[in-house]
Amino acid sequence: MSLLRRISDHFVMPAGDPPAAARGDFVPHDEGPDRACAEPAPRTPPGVTVLAAPADALPLGAALGLALAGRRRTPVVAVCVWTAAAAGGPGLRAPATLAARRLGASLLARGLDVRATGRLAIVRLDAEPEEAAAQARRALAAAGLVPTVLALGGPRVAAFDALLAEQDLVVVATSSASDPALARLAVAGLASAAVRACVCEVAPAQPARCLAGAGLTLLPSARRALSGVVEALP
């Protein structure tokens, strides 16, 4: 056999061979899987709400945000904070990550009171519940694929019920001085409304509260307080 014939046989299919598609090696173009089934569904970002006393809403909401960031390995979490009463100043502020600054700018452009600190973009909601609920909905929608925390400091009000029903988890915060029966009643009330809920104790240590509120880190005392909640996080 000549060299030219060998090269021809190597690169050119002999006339008697069946086409590749007929061998069953490939799925015919018109018999492939439907694109809607073949492509993965877009990820739904988790949403968590915490019900706490006014003074605990920001530090606990921020701590949950950091826990979510660690669990989902995301560079930023949006935290919306509402309090029924004055709960002090904004607290410690740290240099924000690039992702937190970008999200903060996006939320600010929507007319929201926001500050970026550490890995968090913290939105302060209006004191009036109806307006606060509308602002929270805008913020949660603007967050896109970013995980979110809604921290409500004060008695449960009807204006937030629709938002609570949409959350992946609702956390009822307690303290060592509070009556455990009240937390159980709150969880039972949420469960009757088909809302997934759990209880956690607020970390009392001030350094842990400050560092979490600044979006920096969770100290061991905060991690212990949130250990059960982290397991329940989506």
Same domain, 53 and 89: yes
Same domain, 53 and 169: yes
Residue 17: partners with Cβ closer than 8 Å, 6 or more residues away: none
Blockwise average pLDDT, block size 10, the chain, 234 residues: 45 44 38 39 72 91 93 94 74 90 96 96 95 96 94 89 90 74 70 74 83 93 85 78
pTM for the whole structure: 0.76
CA distance 203 to 200: 9
Neighbours of 218 (CB within 10 A): 22
Q: pLDDT value at position 230? A: 81
Least Cα distance to 52 among 185, 210, 191, 170 occurs for: 170
Q: pLDDT value at position 104? A: 96
Q: pLDDT value at position 206? A: 87
Same domain, 19 and 51: no
For the stretch 102-138, what's the b/e string if a residue is b when 16 or more beta carbons lie within 10 angstroms of its beta carbon?
ebbebbeeeebebbbbbbbbbbbbeeebeebbebbeb
Domain count, the chain: 2
Same domain, 8 and 107: no
CA distance 148 to 233: 12
Same domain, 132 and 157: yes
Structural domain span for residue 127: 47-232
Cβ 123 vs Cβ 194: under 8 Å: no
Report CA dihedral (104, 107, 112, 115) to the nearest 10 degrees: -10
Same domain, 157 and 86: yes
Burial class (CB in 10 A: 0-12, 13-18, 19+), 51: buried
Residue 200: partners with Cβ closer than 8 Å, 6 or more residues away: 60, 171, 172, 173, 174, 225, 226, 228, 229
CA distance 216 to 118: 5
Same domain, 18 and 58: no
